[in-house]
Structure 1
Amino acid sequence: MIKRLLWLALLPLSAQAADDFATQWPLQLSQPDAGAYRASLDASVYNAAHWRDLRDVRVVDADGKPVASVVYAAATPLSGPLRTVELQWFALPVTAANADDDLSVVVQRDTSGKVVSVRNSVASAGAVGAADPVWLVDLGDDAGKLRALSVDWADAGATLDLGYRLEGSDDLRGWQVLDPQVRLVQLNNQGRELRSNTIKVETGLRYLRLVPLQRSGAPALRGLRGEMADVVVAGDWQWQELKADAASNVKDGYTYALQGRFPIQRLDVVMPANSAVSWSVFSRDADRPGADGSTPDWQLLTRGWNAWSLSEAGKQQRSAPLETSGIITDRQWRLLAEPGSVPSEAPLLRLGYRPGSVVFLAQGRAPYLLVAGSANMADTQAALDPMLDALRARNGAHWQPAVATLGASAARAGDAAYQPTKAPRDWKNVLLWVILVLGAAAVAGFAFSLLRSQRPDKKET
């Protein structure tokens, strides 16, 4: 009997469905032997996905086996080719920079924040015995694009080994240390030259300053150049247009339901002509329970968003879409009119996103399928980013895998894939208890039999 129980316990469990994705799409490859491919996600993929991070969007081969793939929920902006620009810079005494780290008292700016002059500025550097100045840089509209800072000395043949502290600020008051020690070296020996005058910089701060770590020794500065990387936005905006639920109203707010895990980054409303309303915007999702553990709470996204629509001389004008502070993947949305704003009717809510993509390797047998929609996926993806970064470094920043396109969608497992599977019964644990009980019973039976055999026989009378 025990052998039979062991045999039953080791049988494969058949409760797990072999096909656990709701929908599938055939993938058409632009090149048959590219090795790596990239397919853009369309609205049907976001509609089918169950998880916020799209972990249930995968690629499988002709045998149904998963291949190495990674999903990017939203389009990632790419860096354009580097361009070199002459930077606006000012020289000022070290004492001015050290006065409570507040340069706003010595720097004059225009209404846009551009530095136009510096009081007590240093006319030049390099004079004998003169203290090395602090260099102040205003990146202006190129803030956030700087990748490298190059120093151009007036004396290209000077021998120097200088140290600077690189700092950054947004307001000329509070300063952050970006690099505690930058070394600038320029050496010449028998016709050979060693030059290191480039500083790697990646920051979104507008103002930079280089503070000398030595008192003197720096030659005159001829200029500062910056290597800028402009951002090339990938993908066009796509929009989901939602109508308010019939049960919602202006008092409690208009509610909207989004069917899918779209990476929302823009909001827009379509209102009747000649109207202006100040809105508060909320979102929520059933997978994020509220304080009571059941009904999710509304999360405030923005307050006082002024949206308007004006018809003038037959021309329709509308307010610009609102940029969100990040990617939002909630399914439920709510518009609540601020006090004093009375919309004449529920507006049409437009949610904008840039489609993401899936990158996969051509493993296994073709053809390949994109599958999506499962409540039973673990948060695992292939580690393809290091390989993609290396290929871009070798082939150029704009290198991309070969194109793959999605065909028409088809049902796979359907709605059953969205139902979480029940945890399988731990048959091994049950079996161990059965064996333990049977073993105890066998021992008890053996002991009882032994006692009976040792009882003395009654004498005959």
Structure 2
Amino acid sequence: MRNKSLLELLLLLAATSAAATPHRAPLQVTQPAPFLTLDATAEAWQHSLGSDLHDWQLLDAQGRRVPFALLPDELLATPERELKLAALPPAPTTAASAPPSRLPAGWLLDLGEPAQWLAEPRQLRLRWPAEAAPFRAGYRLETSSDLQAWQTLGTGQLLGLRTTEGAPLAQPLVPLVGRPQRYLRLVWDDATRAVQPEAATLLAQPAGMAPQQQLRSAPLPAPDAEGGWVIPLGGPQPLLSLALAGKQGTWVLPVQVQTRSGAKSPWQTVARSVFYRVDRGAAPADTAPSLPLNIGASELRLLPPRGTALPPADSLRLDWTVRVTHIVWAAQGEPPFSLQVGAVAAEAGPRSLADVVPDWSREQARLGRAQLGAFTPEATAVKEEPAVPPRRLLLWAVLGVGVVLLAAVTWRLWRQGPTQTST
């Protein structure tokens, strides 16, 4: 048993050592300039120890560190703007005997003149009172430039639910598919099942710029022992959003989004959301918007409530977006340059932009480019044993001679046998 435990410990140490092996990739300068930019690749994340780049080092030909910084990414900062909500008149009742409804049929929002938009509208985020009763409300979203002619932008659902433990599960986002006009009209399918929002926030993206993110997808595997779907991401990565997509049927899944730091570590819940797909027949299905995130993770688990009726496993997939990491550095030192990841050092990781590029406003229009080659594991250096000091060497020699003399005397006395006493 003791030998087995020792063997398991040695295997664990060997695995840990292998996982921590640093890797290095060469850099090829494709556009020379005093300051260069570099985009991280998916392979870089596979060998990284974290999503904050604390184990990244940019090295010159002599192995000396070249300072680098994260390239400013204003595209990831989503501008937000509060909008005023105006209630639409109650919808007319269809039954003659039914009392007239006093609930708003929906809500009207004014985005302002499109010519004055500084950013393109992408989503609406509604907020309702925390004490609101649980609800699930379908809606139709329309747009108009003059409040007369209305064009449908899409349909969807807003959800405000709670778990059996009382934790909130909300879906407050309304995606703006296509470019809306000045006015938006959100009309409830059934006002009696809807919520009365107290605020609306417009989420936008700077006009004329593409988001600096990459979309990745993976089919959901078979559930684990606790009924959750575990999705490896291929190394620690900066996650921006995720969505659960399906190919068939109507389903609503409240899930916990969980991450963990290692294969033996416990799962930690980082978000709760409700994903859904509502089949509309010949029309496109309604699907839940992506869940915004801003975390670093190398592995995810989506955990639905126990006993939930799940869609067929082969009909679901997970879509997630990761931030494209750009770094900028000065072409100092001796080329060729390389990027090493997976080794923690005191001076590793990015520095502030001002420490790397003193005059950013002037240099950002003159940046050069570099690209990463393939990563290879670094050879483990064999440490040389330090020389033994002379005084310590002499001490060990004296002790050794003493042990030998003591052993010789003991051996001689044993050969002689016991001493005979005379009478």
Provide TM-score, normalisation by structure 1. 0.46
Deviation track 1:48-97 (CA, whole Å, cap 9, x = no partner) reads 32344323433333x2423423253x9732699xxxxxxxxxxxxxxxxx
Deviation track 1:160-185 (CA, whole Å, cap 9, x = no partner) reads xxxxxxxxxxxxxxxxxxxxxxxxxx
Q: Distance in 2 between matches of 1:235 and 1:429?
A: 60
Q: Distance in 2 between matches of 1:378 and 1:39?
A: 22
Alignment check: 8 A CA contact 2:275 2:287 kept: no
Q: 1:427 to 1:340 in 2, by over 3 A?
A: same
Whichever residue aligns with residue 350 of structure 1, its letter is: D
Instruction: State the shift of 1:356 in Å.
Output: 0.9
What pairs up with 1:37-436 in 2 under 5 angstroms? 37-61=36-60, 63-72=61-70, 76-77=73-74, 232=206, 235-246=211-222, 248=224, 251-273=226-248, 274-286=250-262, 295-324=264-293, 326-328=294-296, 330-338=297-305, 341-346=308-313, 347-369=316-338, 371-375=339-343, 377-378=345-346, 380-381=348-349, 383-387=351-355, 390-392=358-360, 395=362, 399=364, 402-407=367-372, 409-413=373-377, 427=386, 433-436=392-395
Deviation track 1:8-59 (CA, whole Å, cap 9, x = no partner) reads xxxxxxxxxxxx74241432242x3x22111122222222323443234333
Instruction: State the shift of 1:411 in Å.
Output: 4.2
Residue 25 of structure 2 corresponds to 24
Question: Helix, strand or coil: the match of 1:437?
Answer: helix
Question: Helix, strand or coil: the match of 1:315?
Answer: strand
Whichever residue aligns with residue 238 of structure 1, its letter is: Q
Residue 184 of structure 1 corresponds to none
Q: 1:46 to 1:322 in 2, by over 3 A?
A: same
Q: Distance in 1 between matches of 2:350 and 2:232?
A: 32
Alignment check: 8 A CA contact 2:227 2:304 kept: no
Residue 104 of structure 1 corresponds to none
Q: 1:75 to 1:387 in 2, by over 3 A?
A: closer
Alignment check: 8 A CA contact 2:273 2:291 kept: no
Whichever residue aligns with residue 65 of structure 1, its letter is: G
Alignment check: 8 A CA contact 1:242 1:257 kept: no
Alignment check: 8 A CA contact 2:38 2:326 kept: yes
Q: Which runs of 5+ in 2 are unaligned?
A: 1-20, 78-82, 87-110, 113-203, 404-423
Q: 1:235 to 1:70 in 2, by over 3 A?
A: farther
Could you tell me the percent identity over the aligned residues?
Answer: 16
Bigger mean CA offset, 47-56 vs 265-274 = 47-56
Q: Which structure has the larger Rg over C-alpha atoms?
A: 1
Q: Distance in 1 between matches of 2:236 and 2:76?
A: 27
Alignment check: 8 A CA contact 2:330 2:357 kept: no
Q: 1:51 to 1:264 in 2, by over 3 A?
A: same
Q: 1:390 to 1:237 in 2, by over 3 A?
A: same
Q: Distance in 2 between matches of 1:310 and 1:298?
A: 33
Whichever residue aligns with residue 301 of structure 1, its letter is: V
Q: Which runs of 5+ in 1 are unaligned?
A: 1-19, 81-108, 113-139, 142-229, 288-294, 445-461
Instruction: State the shift of 1:440 in Å.
Output: 6.8
Question: Helix, strand or coil: the match of 2:46?
Answer: helix
Corresponding pairs, count: 259
Q: 1:322 to 1:28 in 2, by over 3 A?
A: same
Bigger mean CA offset, 255-264 vs 271-280 = 271-280
Question: Helix, strand or coil: the match of 1:410?
Answer: coil
Q: Distance in 2 between matches of 1:283 and 1:345?
A: 24
Instruction: State the shift of 1:388 in Å.
Output: 5.2
Question: Helix, strand or coil: the match of 2:312?
Answer: coil
Residue 396 of structure 2 corresponds to 437
Q: Distance in 2 between matches of 1:431 and 1:266?
A: 63
Q: Distance in 2 between matches of 1:110 and 1:78?
A: 26
Deviation track 1:192-215 (CA, whole Å, cap 9, x = no partner) reads xxxxxxxxxxxxxxxxxxxxxxxx
Deviation track 1:313-366 (CA, whole Å, cap 9, x = no partner) reads 242442110012x322x2221111135742213331222112111222112233
Q: 1:78 to 1:350 in 2, by over 3 A?
A: closer
Question: Helix, strand or coil: the match of 1:258?
Answer: strand
Instruction: State the shift of 1:404 in Å.
Output: 1.3
Q: 1:234 to 1:368 in 2, by over 3 A?
A: farther
Alignment check: 8 A CA contact 1:22 1:411 kept: yes
Instruction: State the shift of 1:259 in Å.
Output: 0.9
Alignment check: 8 A CA contact 1:283 1:333 kept: yes
Q: Distance in 2 between matches of 1:276 and 1:327?
A: 25
Residue 36 of structure 1 corresponds to 35
Q: Distance in 1 between matches of 2:76 and 2:239?
A: 22
Alignment check: 8 A CA contact 2:75 2:205 kept: yes
